[in-house]
């Protein structure tokens, strides 16, 4: 594919343009011809595969199985849960004909699959012995985006996983919702190196049709929050709408409980935006499709057999040690061109091998995040690379954690809240009376919403930031993607 190398704007000066250039020039994704849609290109797909592998393995170990449900959902299914229908219907793509035949009933392209899945669950579940039922689906969903497209962040179709479980009671459902949120936290914090606030959504912000929603929220460099993953306790709302009932140990019929939860390719957007710099992507080592690139640097106009064979041997050593390393021995590109390309793609570690390195039995190792170069003995290359990959992973998380801390401000008054939101943005930690009226007013007047109600109540430190009445909760406000 043809490449126009190099990002032409600075991240600080124009985040939005920088972001688009990084995504497209690094080969992660491209705009589709149909407005609102994007193409996940091979490099982007390989990042998505790393995320999938991590989650899929752990979901299976927790007892979940994958399945696949139809893309098309009859309008009447969507209508069965009233809030759910009114929440999703403005964004639904409707199918009205097949071939030359007009359909009797409109079919929705799934905006999420609760309704079509719970229709089947009602048929499959009979007794307490069938519970819990733990199913996960890898698919794409479509929600028409009327705002401007943003690659990975705001597209009319996105890849995700949606988990749908059935339980006997609230307690078991609560436990599932919490376990999944913890799994997502591990993915986001420990793999993507992105710190996140964990907690509940307010009733205003929860998933349409849920009893409650738990969420993980991260902060982007422009001061806007990004919802990273959500886990919902759906209560018995859907089981009543779809008649998911089971015969209990008590020989009585009960409505079952449901949870649903998902993360999407949006996570990749967060990685780009948070860790990237003016030279391009910076991939956290644990989800980097390529962790190390080995570049031989022959003398100008020389054959360079020695450096190439050393480089090849180093790459093979790394591969055998389980490190995802590649050798870039393409003759038609200069080392400098290669450095730029792999930096653009965010490969965490570059190993250079020139004639001097060969003669000294060393290699030069360069970390992408800080551009530090070190010469290390070739004999130590595996252990030193592993150490460096771990150090990069930790360092990215620490840097992002500091940024999150710096982007979080307490506000005791409405004026303070407004000033922060309208200048630097970030999270505003404030006290709230728990009335939706205050939440609505703040949203209307500042664009900020309550992103998180912390799991552990934090100590109230002022009156309600909006109405001045007695506050009951400390919550985190922000504008959001």
**Binding footprint of a copy of itself on the chain (CB under 8 A):** 1-2, 30, 32-34, 37-42, 44-46, 48-49, 65-74, 77, 89-101, 107, 109, 116, 119-120, 123-127, 129-130, 133, 135, 139-140, 142, 144, 146, 156-157, 159, 332
Contact 382, 294 (CB under 8 A): no
| Min separation Cβ 125 and a copy of itself, Å | 7
268: closest CA among 287, 255, 249? Answer: 287
Using alpha carbons, list the distances in angstroms from residue 253 to 78, 168, 172: 25, 11, 18
Cα dist from 417 to 157, 214, 447, 471, whole Å: 34, 24, 11, 15
Please answer whether residues 469 and 460 qualify as being in contact, where contact means their C-beta atoms are separated by less than 8 angstroms. Answer: no
The one-character DSSP state at 63 is T
Closer of 117 and 433 to a copy of itself (Cβ): 117
- Tell me how crowded residue 13 is: count the other CB atoms within 10 A of its CB: 9
Question: Toward a copy of itself, which CB reaches closer, 149 or 399?
Answer: 149
Would you say 113 or 202 has its CB closer to a copy of itself? 113
CA distance 80 to 243: 11
Instruction: Reduce the DSSP state of residue 400 to 3 states and report it.
Output: helix
Q: How far is the CB of 258 from a copy of itself (least distance, A)?
A: 16
Q: Give min distance, CB of 34 to a copy of itself, in A.
A: 6
Rank residues 126 and 387 by Cβ distance to a copy of itself and give the closer one.
126
| Residue 86 vs 361, nearer CB to a copy of itself | 86
Cβ atoms 380, 198 nearer than 8 A: no
> Could you give phi then psi for residue 120, rounded to 5 degrees?
-75, -40
- Tokens standing for residue 472: 């009951």
Residues 214/224, Cβ–Cβ less than 8 Å: no
Nearer to a copy of itself, 44 or 269 (CB): 44
Q: Helix or strand or coil: residue 431?
A: strand
CA 145 to centroid of chain Cα atoms: 18
The distance of closest approach from Cβ of residue 294 to a copy of itself in the complex, given in angstroms and rounded to an integer, is 19
Beta carbon nearer to a copy of itself, 322 or 377 = 322
Q: How far apart are CA 192 and CA 151, in angstroms?
A: 18
Q: How far is the CB of 108 from a copy of itself (least distance, A)?
A: 10
Please choose, from the candidates 114, 214, 127, the residue with its C-alpha nearest in 3D space to the C-alpha of residue 165. Answer: 114
Q: How far is the CB of 96 from a copy of itself (least distance, A)?
A: 5
Torsion angle, CA of 163/167/173/178, rounded to 10 degrees?
A: -50
Q: Which is nearer to a copy of itself, 261 or 427 (CB)?
A: 261
Closest approach of Cβ 348 to a copy of itself, in Å? 20
> 468 vs 42, 88, 435, CA distance in Å?
53, 35, 12
Residue owning tokens 């992408």: 368
Whichever of 2 and 459 has its CB closer to a copy of itself, that residue is 2
Q: Could you tell me the smallest distance in angstroms from the CB atom of residue 459 to a copy of itself?
A: 44
Nearest in space to 478 (alpha carbons), one of 409, 384, 406: 409
Q: How far is the CB of 94 from a copy of itself (least distance, A)?
A: 5
Q: Are 41 and 23 in contact (CB under 8 A)?
A: no
Could you count the other beta carbons within 10 Å of the beta carbon of residue 17?
14
- Distance in Å, CB of 259 to a copy of itself, minimum: 17
Between 34 and 456, whose beta carbon lies closer to a copy of itself? 34
- Give the nearest distance from C-beta 19 to a copy of itself in angstroms: 20
CB of 237 to a copy of itself, least distance (A): 19
Those residues whose C-beta lies under 8 Å from the C-beta of residue 105, and which sit 6 or more positions away, are 74, 75, 76
Residue 358 exposure: Cα atoms within 13 Å on the Cβ side: 18
Residue number, 100 or 252, with CB nearest to a copy of itself: 100
Nearer to a copy of itself, 147 or 456 (CB): 147
């Amino acid at each position: 594919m043809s490449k126009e190398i190099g990002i032409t704007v600075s991240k600080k000066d124009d985040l939005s343009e920088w972001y688009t250039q990084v995504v497209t020039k690094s080969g992660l994704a491209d705009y589709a011809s149909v407005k609102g849609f994007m193409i996940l290109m091979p490099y982007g797909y390989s990042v998505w595969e790393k995320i999938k592998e991590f989650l899929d393995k752990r979901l299976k170990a927790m007892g979940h199985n994958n399945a696949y449900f139809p893309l098309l959902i009859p309008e009447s299914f969507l209508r069965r849960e009233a809030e759910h229908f009114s929440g999703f219907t403005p964004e639904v793509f409707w199918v009205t004909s097949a071939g030359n035949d007009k359909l009797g009933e409109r079919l929705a392209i799934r905006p999420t699959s609760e309704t079509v899945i719970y229709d089947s669950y009602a048929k499959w579940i009979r007794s307490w012995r069938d519970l819990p039922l733990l199913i996960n689906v890898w698919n794409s969903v479509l929600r028409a985006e009327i705002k401007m497209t943003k690659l990975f962040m705001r597209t009319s179709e996105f890849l995700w996983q949606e988990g749908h479980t059935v339980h006997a009671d609230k307690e078991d459902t609560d436990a599932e919702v919490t376990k999944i949120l913890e799994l997502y936290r591990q993915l986001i914090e420990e793999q993507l190196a992105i710190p996140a606030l964990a907690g509940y959504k307010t009733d205003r912000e929860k998933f349409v049709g849920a009893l409650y929603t738990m969420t993980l929220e991260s902060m982007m460099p422009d001061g806007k929050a990004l919802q990273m993953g959500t886990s919902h306790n759906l209560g018995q709302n859907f089981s009543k709408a779809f008649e998911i009932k089971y015969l209990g140990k008590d020989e009585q019929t009960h409505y079952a409980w449901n949870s649903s939860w998902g993360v999407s390719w949006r996570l990749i957007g967060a990685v780009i935006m948070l860790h990237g710099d003016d030279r391009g992507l910076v991939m956290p080592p644990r989800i980097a499709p390529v962790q190390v690139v080995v570049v031989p640097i022959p003398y100008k106009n020389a054959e360079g057999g020695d450096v190439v064979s050393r480089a090849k041997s180093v790459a093979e050593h790394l591969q055998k040690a389980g490190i995802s390393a590649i050798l870039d021995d393409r003759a038609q590109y200069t080392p400098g061109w290669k450095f730029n390309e792999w930096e653009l793609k965010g490969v965490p570690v570059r190993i250079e091998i020139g004639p001097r390195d060969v003669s000294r039995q060393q290699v030069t190792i360069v970390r992408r995040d800080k551009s530090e170069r070190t010469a290390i003995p070739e004999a130590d290359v595996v252990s030193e690379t592993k150490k460096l990959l771990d150090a990069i992973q930790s360092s990215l998380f620490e840097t992002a954690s500091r940024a999150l801390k710096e982007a979080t401000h307490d506000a005791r008054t409405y004026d303070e809240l407004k000033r922060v939101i309208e200048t630097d943005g970030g999270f505003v930690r404030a006290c709230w009376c728990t009335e939706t009226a205050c939440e609505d007013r703040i949203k209307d007047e500042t664009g900020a919403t309550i992103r998180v109600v912390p799991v552990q109540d934090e100590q109230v430190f002022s009156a309600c930031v909006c109405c001045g009445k007695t506050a009951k909760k400390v919550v985190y406000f922000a504008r959001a993607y």
